Chains A and B, each alone.
Chain A
Amino acid sequence: MSAVTFDDPAATSFRRELRDWLTGTALPGLRALELSHGSDANVQLGRRWDSLLSEAGYAGLSWPPEYGGRGLGVVEEVIFYEECTRAGAPDGFSRFTQHMLGNLLIEFGTRVQQEKYLPGMLDGSQLWCQGSSEPNAGSDLAAVVTTADRHGDEYLINGRKTWTSWAHLADACWLLAKSDRTGRRHHNLSLLLVDMHQPGIVVTPIRQITGASGFNEVAFTDARAGVQDRVGAEHEGWSLIRWTLSRERGVYQSMRRYLEVSHYLRQAEACQREVADRRAEVTERLQSRLELIWWHVVRCVEEVTLGLDSRAAESILKLYWSELWQEVAHFGLSLRCEQHRDFWRDVYLYSRSVTIWAGTSEIQRNIISERVLGMPRAEAG
């Protein structure tokens, strides 16, 4: 029975069990929060973590037992992330694959696919990458142009994928490709499970602004995948990808990120204590931002009087002061001063109107982008 709420006895006992394991044998030498994303050390750490989780029975927490999972639920998955992040554990690779591709195969895969791929996902021995984005299909993912042409029992794959995390380490790839060159949008793509260890696949790491390379460009030239490695119906891969992507943005991720960012904020607070009192800092920052209005007005006026074109500089004023007004009102409210509670309430309430009247902030941004910068006009209607 999996837990329904976070204070269920089942949830509490899972948390205790996990915490004991984490503080016991699991964690020494595995703290990862200090490492930069994508470093080699992080990769080794992640793989070690994957196999440790598998050995200790923490892999596939929410997979059904018949697939090697523990049959637990969302609550336990979230608790897992929460406890691990608090403890400073690394992220690993397998859990992401288990959540996205694993669940997909359990739901839509064939028996053969399940038997072939799920065990390697569970113990971390097989590393997967996700072949979705392309140079001209990012946010607009359905616009992928990598082709998978059917030749008998095989697909021949040609094209380029990009931003492919971990492709340089991966054993296999779940790939979205165009299997019907003439079919209509959203019904022309298939989802294929592709062996990365074959000729015809070239992986080129992309260097990030951090200097590390976590993601790659992957070129396919007549790479092959069998028909038996297609998930779901032919040309209907889009709905499957949508299904997996909805899991990428789920609660597990959010819990992990929440704690990660909390870690940063705690650090920021510690740093800030060394510099100055936090509130004094906010006030000082807001004061500078406010005083900038004065200087900007003077500058605009002088530009007019000196015969220069001040329209561009002037165009930003309303947007700037109105949003700053709201920021100050928020700050005042957040101080929760007993003596000035009514004052701040009134200031705050009124401030909600200042980004609406005299041209809303949205209209101000339209004016700046369209009239001042000459960007394309918004469509009518």
Chain B
Amino acid sequence: MPIVATGQARELATAFGQLLDGQLRHSILGDEYFSAGHSRLWDAIAGGGWLDLAVAEDDGGAGLPVKDLTAVAEAWGRRIVPLPFTCTMVLRAIPAVRERVAAAGRLTLSVPGAGGWRLVPMYGVDKVCHLSWGDGPGPEPDAVPSGLAADLFAPSLPIGAGGVLQPGQSDPAVLASIATLWAAEAVGAASAAFDAAFSYAGFRQAFGRRIAEFQAVKHRIADMYKCLELARTAVLWAANTPDAPQRGVRLALELSREIIEGAIQIEGGIGFTWEAGIHFYLRHILALDRLVQCAGPASAPIAGS
């Protein structure tokens, strides 16, 4: 069994990227995300069957394993769209949850945090699933607490303390899949920032030439590229070790962050501006990192099996 994603999964990821680019004609700063475009994009994703990639074939889905889903998650992460695609995809594949949320649309989940806080990733969600299935039926998915989305593009909403997640009831397999796909999203975001910095170096002039001609710039980009290839491998590592994905996940996030740090450096003062937008990728990764930490074994109460 190869560790890499199948050729079919790569093709799917490419097609998914094309679908997204077709819908997201404007830049990441456009109004698209915050208005009607939001739902239009979601409808296109749902209508194309993309939400059921993880659902078993017997249940009418594509039945893709996590390592294949990482290719799709990376394509999603490249566009840092503030919609809960990854969570919805994973949650819909869980039979016990699927029945309850099939009609809910956009789903997200609460994950455990320090001090009794729960982190809910992503915006534009219809329901929050608490990681509390197991023996019993668990609570019904909640409506989203209001008034929480302060920092767009940082895909987490902190919500107040409450007895949402009971020790011994969370499902490590789900946490592993979701953490791995979040890591893949981070790599997608890093790859987009890498491409932006790479093309910037190709046209930005200093001392009468393109900065891409300076060895110092080329070597920094070479280092970023090294991190990018390794980050992809780290995601595959996580996907292929579902019992202990944390090390691969953490590495993928660390390496993704290094890439974006490089992108800011390559773009210089421009890269440090809000408008240039590299920080959206960075914030996205920082938020994913926080979510992954919270979903990790150190803080997640895991079933006493």
Contact = CB atoms under 8 A, between A and B. Distances in A.
Interface of A: 133, 136, 138-140, 143, 162-163, 206-209, 211, 287-289, 291-292, 295-296, 298-299, 302-303, 306, 308, 312-313, 316, 319-320, 362, 364-366, 368-370, 372-373, 375-376, 378
Interface in B120-175: none
B162 to A, nearest CB: 24
Given A133-B269, A140-B207, A295-B234, A209 B264 contact: yes
A288 B4 contact: no
Question: 8 tightest CB-CB pairs across the interface, nearest first?
Answer: A207-B274, A209-B279, A369-B218, A368-B222, A365-B222, A316-B226, A365-B219, A296-B233
Given A138-B269, A207-B274, A375-B201, A298 B225 contact: no
B21 interface: no
Contact of A163 (B233, B269, B278, B279): B269
Contact of A373 (B2, B221, B240): B221
Given A288-B250, A306-B4, A316 B225 contact: yes
A362 B219 CA distance: 8
Interface stretch (B11-19, B31-39, B46-54, B209-217): B209-217
A313 B269 CA distance: 31
B243 interface: no
A371 to B, nearest CB: 10
Interface in B273-301: 273-275, 278-279, 282
Interface string B234-259: 10110010000001101100000000
A207 B275 contact: yes
Contact of A295 (B7, B237, B274): B237
Contact of B3 (A162, A291, A295): A295
Nearest to B231: A292
A299 B222 contact: no
Nearest to A296: B233
A75 to B, nearest CB: 34
A138 B268 contact: yes
A299 B269 contact: no
Nearest to A135: B270
A380 B131 CA distance: 61
B171 to A, nearest CB: 25
A279 to B, nearest CB: 18
Contacts of A292: 230, 233-234, 237, 248, 251
Interface size class of B (residues with CB under 8 A): 35 or more
27 contacts: A138-B206, A163-B269, A207-B273, A207-B275, A208-B274, A209-B264, A209-B273, A287-B247, A288-B251, A292-B237, A295-B233, A298-B3, A299-B4, A299-B232, A302-B2, A302-B4, A306-B4, A313-B229, A320-B226, A320-B230, A362-B219, A365-B218, A365-B222, A366-B222, A375-B202, A378-B215, A378-B218
B269 A373 contact: no
Interface string B191-202: 000000010011
A375 B2 CA distance: 32
A206 B275 CA distance: 8
Contacts, number: 119
The SS class assigned to the B binding surface is helix
B294 to A, nearest CB: 14
Nearest to B206: A140
B269 A209 contact: no
B57 interface: no
B14 to A, nearest CB: 14
Nearest to B268: A138
Contact of B274 (A209, A289, A302): A209
Contacts of B3: 295, 298-299, 302
A215 to B, nearest CB: 8
Which residue of B205, B212, B223 has the most chain A CB atoms within 10 A of its CB atom? Answer: B223
A80 B278 CA distance: 37
Contacts of A207: 273-275
Contacts of B7: 306, 308
B269 A372 contact: no
B274 A211 contact: yes
A365 B233 contact: no
A295 B237 CA distance: 6
A162 B278 CA distance: 19
A160 B62 CA distance: 56
A139 B207 CA distance: 8
Contacts of A211: 274
A378 B213 CA distance: 7
A108 to B, nearest CB: 27
A177 B2 CA distance: 62
A265 B143 CA distance: 42
Interface string B61-90: 000000000000000000000000000000
Contacts of A366: 215, 218-219, 222
A375 B279 contact: no
A376 B201 CA distance: 11
Contacts of A295: 3, 233-234, 236-237, 240, 248
Contacts of B268: 138-139
A287 B273 CA distance: 36
Given A209-B273, A365-B218, A288 B229 contact: no
A140 B247 CA distance: 43
Nearest to B202: A375
A321 B273 CA distance: 35
Nearest to B215: A378
B9 to A, nearest CB: 12
Contacts of B237: 291-292, 295
Nearest to A276: B298
A362 B264 CA distance: 22
B212 to A, nearest CB: 5
B274 A369 contact: no
